[in-house]
Amino acid sequence: MALNSLLDIELTVPDPNSLTDFWVRRGMLETSAGVLGTEDREVQLRTVEGDYRHMSELHLGCEAEKDLADIAQRLTGLGVESEILDTRLTCIDPVFCHRVVIDVTAAHPLTPTQARAHNPPGQQNRVNSRAEAVVEENPRPPRRLGHFVMGTPNFKEATKFFVEGLGFKISDQILKGVATFARVEQDHHNLLIHPGPTSYLNHYAMEMDDVDAIGKAGAAVLAERDDASIVGVGRHVLGSNMFWYMLDPQGNMFEFFSDIDQIIDDEAWDRDFGRRDWEGSDGPAGFSVWGPKEPEVFFNPTDIEIIAAGREAAGLPN
């Protein structure tokens, strides 16, 4: 796989300080002004000021300099201009209009999560002690940015740019590409593209250690704003991950997630599980195995008209 890393994203919002402070309270580290990281990864989220909320930059990694040349050639074939300086390629996404930066870099592994003892039926793995989630003093922080989701009326063009141009690999699709889950790492998806009323960031997702970490972090958010929850907790079908979707202080939906499918053998996945044409939202491609059904606001956020107006004022396509 030429692309090997989802490194970080830049979020443009009217009040970046409130967003930075929000994630610092969740346990992320402000490694420099407006830059948020974790213990394993110095840069995960960047916040800058702008008139309306949107993702303004996507930062990816690839394996070798030759990959940059290959990506540039594919982009040229799609009519997208790019520039390579040293070991970095830059271009502008033709649909969402954010900047894309690709650096040659090694993959960024995470420190493994410390194993926690559980007592399933018939087993005694934790005896004479309370569960660690009960006795730990503070919620555990996010581990990394895992994926982002984009909505657009131009979903076919967007999918073509990410898959045929940049080199994302398809993991699953719904209704012949109406929605596409794609990856650059081993996670089932680092990206989902779906139809939307305008081109916008649907949500970004932060990986947590486990369901207890999701629950405690989500509860801490609710303690600050009791209207922050969108939907959760539950377990998805495609990707299999646990989820809880919430709103950050700038109106971006974000997801706490854990336990996502890992794809390390592309051929085995495509042969045994890579069903790329799921039919219908009420079938196997439904929102969740268990948990609440997604509300209307999940795919139609309340500020979508503000985003559309912001794009129009900036001279950007719908």
Neighbour-count burial of 165, counting CB atoms closer than 10 A to its CB (0-12 exposed, 13-18 middle, 19+ buried): buried
For 55, the domain range is: 3-109+142-313
* Segment 50-64, tens digit of pLDDT: 999 999 999 999 999
The SS3 of residue 202 is strand
Asked if the model's pLDDT at residue 271 lies above 90, the reply is no
**4 touches 62 (CB < 8 A):** yes
Q: Ramachandran region of residue 291, left (φ > 0), alpha (ψ -120 to 50) or beta?
A: left
Output the pTM of the full model.
Answer: 0.95
- Buried b / exposed e across 174-195, counting CB within 10 Å, b at 16+? beebebbbbbbbebbbbbbbbe
Select from 165, 14, 172 the least CA-distant residue to 89: 165
Residue 126 within any structural domain of the chain: no
Report the range of poorest mean pLDDT among 21-35, 56-70, 118-132, 263-277. Answer: 263-277
Average pLDDT over residues 232-248: 97
* The pairing of beta strand 54-62 with beta strand 88-92: unpaired
Q: State how far the Cα of 73 lies from the Cα of 166, in Å rounded to an integer.
A: 10
Q: Who's near 269: CB < 8 A, 6+ residues apart?
A: 171, 263
Position 61 scores a pLDDT of 98
For residue 60, being part of any structural domain is answered with yes
Q: Percent of the chain beyond pLDDT 90?
A: 88
Which residues are CB-neighbours of 97 under 8 A, at least 6 positions away? Answer: 199, 311, 316, 317
CA distance 44 to 146: 9
pLDDT (average), residues 171-186: 92
Res 10 pLDDT > 90: yes
Q: Say what the pLDDT of residue 282 is.
A: 46
Give strand pairing partners of 59. Answer: 8, 101
> What confidence score (pLDDT) does residue 285 get?
66
Confidence of residue 134 (pLDDT cuts 50, 70, 90): very high
Residue 169 inside a domain? The answer is yes
Please count the other Cβ atoms lying within 10 Å of the Cβ belonging to residue 13: 23
Query: Could you read off the pLDDT of 86-124 as tens digits, one per residue?
Result: 999 999 999 999 999 999 999 888 999 888 999 999 999
In a domain, 267, yes or no: yes
Q: What is the mean pLDDT of residues 161-170?
A: 97
Cis preceding linkage at 233, omega within 30: yes
> What are the angstrom distances between the C-alpha of 34 and each of 11, 22, 28, 221?
10, 12, 12, 20
Mean pLDDT along residues 170-196: 94
Residue 303 inside a domain? The answer is: yes
* Confidence label for 157 from pLDDT (cuts 50, 70 and 90): very high
What pLDDT is attached to residue 279?
63
In CATH, what number is assigned to the domain containing residue 164? 3.10.180.10
- Bridge partners of 3? 62
280 pLDDT higher than 60: no
Tokens (6 digits) for 245: 């979707």
pLDDT level of residue 231 (50, 70, 90 thresholds): very high
| Whether pLDDT at 229 is above 80 | yes
Position 277 scores a pLDDT of 64
Instruction: Kindly tell me the number of DSSP H helices and DSSP E strands found in the chain.
Output: 7, 17
Q: How far apart are CA 41 and CA 11, in angstroms?
A: 17
Does residue 116 belong to any structural domain of this protein? no
Residues in CB range of 239: below 8 A, 6 or more apart = 171, 181, 187, 188, 189, 260, 261
Q: Is 136 part of a structural domain of the chain?
A: no
How many domains does the structure of the chain reveal? 1
115 in a structural domain: no
Distance of CA 124 to the CA centre of its chain: 36
- Letter for the amino acid at 84? I
Q: Do 170 and 178 meet the contact criterion of CB atoms below 8 Å apart?
A: no
- Residue 253: pLDDT above 70? yes
Cα(164)–Cα(159) distance, integer angstroms: 8
Residue 131 confidence (pLDDT) above 50: yes
What would the mean pLDDT of 207-231 be, rounded to a whole number? 97
Averaged pLDDT of the chain: 94
Residue 1: the pLDDT is 53
Nearest CA among 211, 221, 217, 194 for reference residue 298: 194
